[in-house]
A = this chain, B = another copy of it.
């Protein structure tokens, strides 16, 4: 089948020098005389030599690779984050190994262990669902790790993190609805994101409390827990909306934009006008938020930036610099759904 690629040793034989000379010549070492260097580089080009990164990695004990484990690649939110990661990894000379974990802690742990076997230099985990019960297994992996918007609660002390302020974002959203004069505001939540859902719900609750409004559980609806694909979010929002409507909501704050889109669809079904009959606010600011009717008021997460920041933090970690966890504050973007 395919013949073996040409190696440094092959070139050494052809040029009648030692492998070490070839190695040095190719990396432009001043130890090698200029003419020999030129001759070898020329020869290498002619025979189409391509260095073998695997051998290099073995000897250097670093792979110039980072691992990224993500819940779902097809999710538009994470796709943007991944994009940011790639953007920051490339100039640093790092390649990205991708794994999907489908919101399942065991799969996530397996993915991390696989990356460790492959000796990645660092690991990025998006939307992590692994909790304390994995601390033991986690301790065995040597690579520094950074979590992006983790769903796990107790901060493992081995891990660093970059996250958006769910609580603050939610308070902004609800405060805005209150400003608009709404008194009965509903919340549509996701049971499959334990931490961020809780934080957003707390922000929702506290914003109401700060305005002196009573908490009314009838105005809160949450999908059941358990692994889901992001596509189900739209259906979730659609299914949940009637409940808060029945409780007399005039506005609804949704866990994310896909829930909000579901809410929009549910409104259309029952002939409700948005924002006239009901105001809708999302979270994330996906691209599609601008394209639905009406365009969605939402809390923007700087998705690409999130990925870049996480990568930067990981890079610092790789340089043995001391780093600090990052919390970024999301911002309200108002459109026509309110």
Whether A119 lies near B234 (C-beta < 8 A) is no
Whether A95 lies near B99 (C-beta < 8 A) is yes
Kindly state the separation between the CA atoms of A2 and B65 in the bound complex, as whole angstroms: 17
- Residues of chain B within 8 A (CB-CB) of A264 are 291
* 9-residue interface stretch from A19-27, A50-58, A182-190, A192-200: A50-58
- Residues of chain B within 8 A (CB-CB) of A202 are none
A72 contacts the other chain (Cβ, under 8 Å)? yes
Q: Type the 1/0 row for A23-38, where 1 means its CB is closer than 8 Å to any CB of B.
A: 0000000000000000
A288 contacts the other chain (Cβ, under 8 Å)? yes
A287 contacts the other chain (Cβ, under 8 Å)? yes
A14 contacts the other chain (Cβ, under 8 Å)? no
Kindly state the separation between the CA atoms of A141 and B48 in the bound complex, as whole angstroms: 9
- Residues of chain B within 8 A (CB-CB) of A90 are 100
* 9-residue interface stretch from A75-83, A123-131, A162-170, A204-212: A75-83
Kindly state the separation between the CA atoms of A61 and B1 in the bound complex, as whole angstroms: 13
Kindly state the separation between the CA atoms of A93 and B265 in the bound complex, as whole angstroms: 41
A270 contacts the other chain (Cβ, under 8 Å)? no
A322 contacts the other chain (Cβ, under 8 Å)? no
Q: Interface size of A by Cβ–Cβ distance < 8 Å?
A: 56
Whether A96 lies near B95 (C-beta < 8 A) is no
In the complex this chain forms, how many copies of it are found? Answer: 2
Given known A140-B48, A287-B231, contact A53–B117 (CB-CB < 8 A): yes
- Residues of chain B within 8 A (CB-CB) of A72 are 83
Whether A83 lies near B76 (C-beta < 8 A) is no
A292 contacts the other chain (Cβ, under 8 Å)? yes
Kindly state the separation between the CA atoms of A90 and B107 in the bound complex, as whole angstroms: 11
A135 to B: closest C-beta gap in Å: 13
Please provide the chain A residues from 224 to 261 with a CB less than 8 Å away from any CB of chain B in the complex. 231, 234, 261
Whether A54 lies near B50 (C-beta < 8 A) is no
A110 to B: closest C-beta gap in Å: 10
A323 contacts the other chain (Cβ, under 8 Å)? no
- Residues of chain B within 8 A (CB-CB) of A2 are 142
A189 to B: closest C-beta gap in Å: 20
A213 contacts the other chain (Cβ, under 8 Å)? no
New contact pairs (15) apart from A53-B117, A76-B287, CB-CB < 8 Å: A1-B320, A48-B140, A50-B141, A52-B117, A58-B58, A73-B79, A73-B82, A74-B304, A79-B79, A90-B100, A96-B97, A96-B99, A97-B97, A97-B98, A264-B291
13 contacts between A and B (CB under 8 A): A1-B320, A50-B113, A54-B118, A72-B83, A74-B82, A76-B79, A86-B99, A90-B100, A97-B98, A98-B98, A264-B291, A288-B288, A292-B293
